[in-house]
C-alpha cells in the first residue's frame, strides 16, 4: 500500500442558492445525518490515507464545527491520523486570487513536510466511491506524470455543463482538457480527482505561480497537456455531481432506492460522520412513513413520503412531507403540506400551510426563517 497525502479541494464546489450562503457545500447536510465532506473523507480513510489536508475556500465556520477544532474530533473518532485545515486568509475575499493553487502556496509547509510519495487531490461536489489506491497503482504502472480520473457519460448535452471533459488518445493519454458546453452527449467527464508524485505537485505549484497568479489547478493542467504525460483513469462506479439545488434534491431522493444506496454505501466501505448523542427518532400512532430517511432525535406525528428528514425535526399531526429535504432542528406545524421543498436548519413552518415546488425548481426555505 502506497503512502499517500490526500487533499480535499473545496475551491471548485458550486453554490446552492441560499443553502450555501452561510456554509460551504462541504458542510451542507446530506441524507439526514452526513455532510458532503464525509463522502470524500471516508473515501480517503477507506483507501488507507491517514494524512489529509482540507483546502477551504470560504465560509469555514460550519466546517470547523462539523470537523471539530483542527479536525481533531474527526481524526480521533476514526483514526485518520493528521488532518490539517488549509485556509488562505490573505486571498479569501478576492475571487481571482482565491483558488486551489494559491491555497497550496499559503500552506506549502504541509505539502513540503509530508513523508508521502504521492498526492491525491479530490473534490466534495462529486459523489462517488473511489479507491484511491487503485488510481495510484494505475498511475505508477503507466509511469505517468499526472493521472486524472474520469467517467464516460452519455448525457453530456443536458448535464455536466461547465465541467471539464477529456480528449484521449488510444493509450488513454490526455491530449486536451476542454469545457463541456453541451454540444455532444458522449463525453469523458473529469471527476476532478488528480494523482501525482508529491515532488511533481511542488514543481507544478512553482511553475503555475510563475505563469500566472490567477492560474488554478484546472488551468495549469490544461496548459501542461502537451508537455507532460497526463494519464486518464476510468471510474465505472456510482457517480453524481452536486452543482445545483435541483441536483441536490434529485440525488438525495435517488438514494432512497435501495439499489442506488448500496452502490454508494456498504459495510466494507463505510461512510463516517460526526456522532451526536441523540435518541432514536420517535414515531406516534398517527405517523405514516414510506421510502424515507429519518435521522435521530426527530419526532414524527405526520406523514413522510419519499423524503429526507434531518436530526431533531418535529413534524406535527396532519402534516404531509413528500419529495423533500428537511434539515436539522426544523419544526413543521400541523396540517402543513410540503412537496419538492428544501427546508434549511432551524426554520419553522407555522402559518403558510402549502409550500409546493417542482422537481426542476425546488422551493427553498432559508435557515432560521419562520413561515
Q: For position 75, what pLDDT does the model report?
A: 52
Domain boundaries, the chain: 4-264, 282-365
At the fourth CATH level, the homologous superfamily of domain 4-264 is Spore Coat Polysaccharide Biosynthesis Protein SpsA; Chain A (3.90.550.10)
| Residues with pLDDT less than 50, the chain | 70-74, 76-80
Residue-level pLDDT at 2 = 87
CATH superfamily, domain at 282-365:
Hexapeptide repeat proteins (2.160.10.10)
Q: Say what the pLDDT of residue 81 is.
A: 65
Residues 355, 253: Cα–Cα separation, whole Å: 18
pTM: 0.94
- Give 43-85 as a DSSP string: HHHHTT--EEEEEE-S--HHHHHHH-GGGHHHHHHHT--EEEE
Give how far Cα 78 sits from Cα of 42, 45, 310, Å: 9, 8, 22
Name residue, grid cell 456498504: 266
Q: Would you give the distance in Å from CA 120 to the centre of its chain?
A: 15
pLDDT (0 to 100) of residue 162:
92
pLDDT at 74: 47
- φ, ψ of residue 147 in degrees (nearest 5): -125, 135
Q: Is 282-365 the same fold as 4-264?
A: no
Amino acid at each position: 500500500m502506497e503512502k499517500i497525502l490526500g487533499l480535499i479541494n473545496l475551491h471548485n464546489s458550486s453554490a446552492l442558492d441560499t443553502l450555501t450562503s452561510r456554509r460551504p457545500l462541504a458542510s451542507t447536510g446530506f441524507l439526514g445525518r452526513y455532510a458532503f465532506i464525509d463522502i470524500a473523507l471516508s473515501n480517503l480513510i477507506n483507501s488507507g490515507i491517514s494524512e489529509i489536508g482540507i483546502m477551504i475556500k470560504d465560509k469555514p465556520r460550519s466546517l470547523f464545527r462539523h470537523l471539530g477544532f483542527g479536525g481533531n474530533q474527526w481524526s480521533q473518532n476514526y483514526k485518520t491520523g493528521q488532518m490539517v485545515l488549509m485556509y488562505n486568509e490573505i486571498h479569501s475575499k478576492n475571487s481571482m486570487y482565491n483558488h486551489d493553487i494559491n491555497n497550496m502556496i499559503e500552506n506549502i509547509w504541509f505539502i513540503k513536510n509530508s513523508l508521502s510519495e504521492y498526492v491525491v487531490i479530490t473534490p466534495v461536489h462529486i459523489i462517488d466511491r473511489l479507491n484511491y489506491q487503485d488510481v495510484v497503482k494505475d498511475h505508477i504502472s503507466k509511469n505517468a506524470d499526472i493521472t486524472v480520473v474520469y467517467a464516460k457519460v452519455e448525457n453530456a448535452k443536458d448535464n455536466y455543463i461547465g465541467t471539464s471533459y477529456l480528449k484521449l488518445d488510444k493509450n488513454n493519454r490526455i491530449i486536451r482538457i476542454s469545457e463541456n458546453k453541451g454540444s455532444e452527449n458522449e463525453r469523458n467527464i473529469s471527476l476532478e480527482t488528480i494523482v501525482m508524485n508529491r515532488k511533481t505537485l511542488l514543481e507544478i505549484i512553482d511553475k503555475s505561480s510563475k505563469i500566472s497568479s490567477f492560474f488554478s489547478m484546472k488551468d495549469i493542467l490544461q496548459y501542461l497537456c502537451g508537455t507532460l504525460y497526463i494519464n486518464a483513469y476510468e471510474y465505472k462506479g456510482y457517480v453524481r455531481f452536486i452543482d445545483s439545488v435541483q441536483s441536490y434534491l434529485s440525488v438525495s431522493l435517488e438514494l432512497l432506492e435501495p439499489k442506488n444506496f448500496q452502490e454508494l454505501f456498504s459495510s466494507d466501505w463505510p461512510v463516517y460522520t460526526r456522532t451526536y448523542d441523540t435518541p432514536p427518532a420517535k414515531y406516534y400512532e398517527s405517523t405514516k412513513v414510506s421510502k424515507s430517511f429519518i435521522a435521530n432525535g426527530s419526532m414524527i406525528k405526520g406523514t413522510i413520503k419519499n423524503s429526507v428528514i434531518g436530526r431533531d425535526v418535529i413534524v406535527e399531526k396532519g402534516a404531509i412531507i413528500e419529495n423533500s429535504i428537511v434539515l436539522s432542528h426544523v419544526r413543521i406545524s400541523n396540517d402543513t403540506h410540503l412537496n419538492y421543498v428544501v427546508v434549511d436548519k432551524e426554520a419553522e413552518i407555522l402559518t403558510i400551510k402549502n409550500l409546493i415546488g417542482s422537481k426542476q425548481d425546488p422551493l427553498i426555505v432559508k435557515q432560521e426563517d419562520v413561515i
